[in-house]
Structure 1
Amino acid sequence: MLKERIEEVTQMNELFYRGFEQLDIALMDSIWAHQEYVTCIHPGWSIRVGWPAVRDSWVVIFNNTFSMKFELTEVQVQVAADIAWVICTENITSRVGENEQNSQVVSTNLFERI
């Protein structure tokens, strides 16, 4: 059972990054809980709380990014009841206009089964 839950969370995490790479707000809409308690902290941004604020942050990012690719390393998946979390290092290649940028970010993604 635990192995199956870890696989389920791994697939959801991959779907999240697919939506991110494809700059796909509809896919993000399908992944995120549309609740007041959802929270997102983008590097260098202030905290966003509540689905409308979180969604708006993704729209801003997607509208200002030409492309984004992720290579995840040091991935750790943990599951406890209906909550799971993925800790990983995001190795990011992004393009804004003509400029390509490489960066590395440590990320924690929380998932809730609802």
Structure 2
Amino acid sequence: MRKKSKLQAASLEGDADEIEAAFYDALQRGDIDKLMACWADEDEIICIHPGGPRVVGATAIRATFEAMFADGGAVRAWPERVRKTVCMGSCVHNVLERVEVLTPQGPTNAWVIATNVYHRTAQGWRLVAHHASPGTTSEIQEVSNAPAVLH
């Protein structure tokens, strides 16, 4: 039986948007307990960091974020543009993230595309998958067949 932190066992109210906001806030603060409270209590939750392997399960996912947060670090990532698909008990967010990275020349922005999948669980909406692409320093353009002007 897995031991849960008090925050993970607590109910987070709200919708997928609020869980996503809590997830990015926890990334920026380096708050592992708050970050893990956003995840579903399922064995098959997955996380793929840019260029990394598929990480399965809460223990493995927690370890990857703990490594990122080591020595007081945090991930400076902001969701800039979000496309959403909502269907009853599931919600998929495709997110253009602006990530601040440190280079030898100083801080610069990189752009990452992430897909966050949320399910409505007994504890409320929770993250079941986070998949982030490798970043680029040039802003990612969006290709769409949606009209540029709505009437």
TM bracket, shorter-chain basis: 0.7 to 0.9
In structure 2, how many angstroms separate the alpha carbons of the residues matched to 1:38 and 1:59? 17
Q: Does 1:32 align with 2:35?
A: no
Q: Does 1:11 align with 2:37?
A: no
Distance change in 2, residues 1:89/1:64 (3 Å):
farther
In structure 1, how many angstroms separate the alpha carbons of the residues matched to 2:38 and 2:15? 13
Amino acid in structure 1 at the alignment position of 2:53: S
How many residues end up aligned between the 2 structures? 107
RMSD over aligned Cα atoms: 2.3
| Structure 1 residue 95, shift from structure 2 partner | 4.7
Q: Which has the higher helix share?
A: 1
| Structure 1 residue 69, shift from structure 2 partner | 2.5
Distance change in 2, residues 1:109/1:90 (3 Å):
same
Between structure 1 and structure 2, the one with the greater Rg is 2
In structure 2, how many angstroms separate the alpha carbons of the residues matched to 1:74 and 1:40? 20
Contiguous gaps of at least 5 residues in structure 2 = 1-13, 122-151
Q: Does 1:58 align with 2:89?
A: no
Q: TM-score, normalised by structure 2?
A: 0.63
**CA deviation vs aligned residue, 1:29-87 (integer Å, no higher than 9, x gap):** 21111321100000021110111111111111111663432332231122112111111
Distance change in 2, residues 1:43/1:106 (3 Å):
same
Q: Does 1:106 align with 2:109?
A: no
| Structure 1 residue 15, shift from structure 2 partner | 0.8
Amino acid in structure 1 at the alignment position of 2:119: E
Answer with 79-88 or 39-48: which moved more.
79-88
Distance change in 2, residues 1:68/1:50 (3 Å):
closer
Percent identity of the aligned residues? Answer: 23
Q: Does 1:89 align with 2:67?
A: no
Distance change in 2, residues 1:86/1:64 (3 Å):
farther
Instruction: Quote the residue 2:29 is aligned against.
Output: 22
Q: TM-score, normalised by structure 1?
A: 0.81
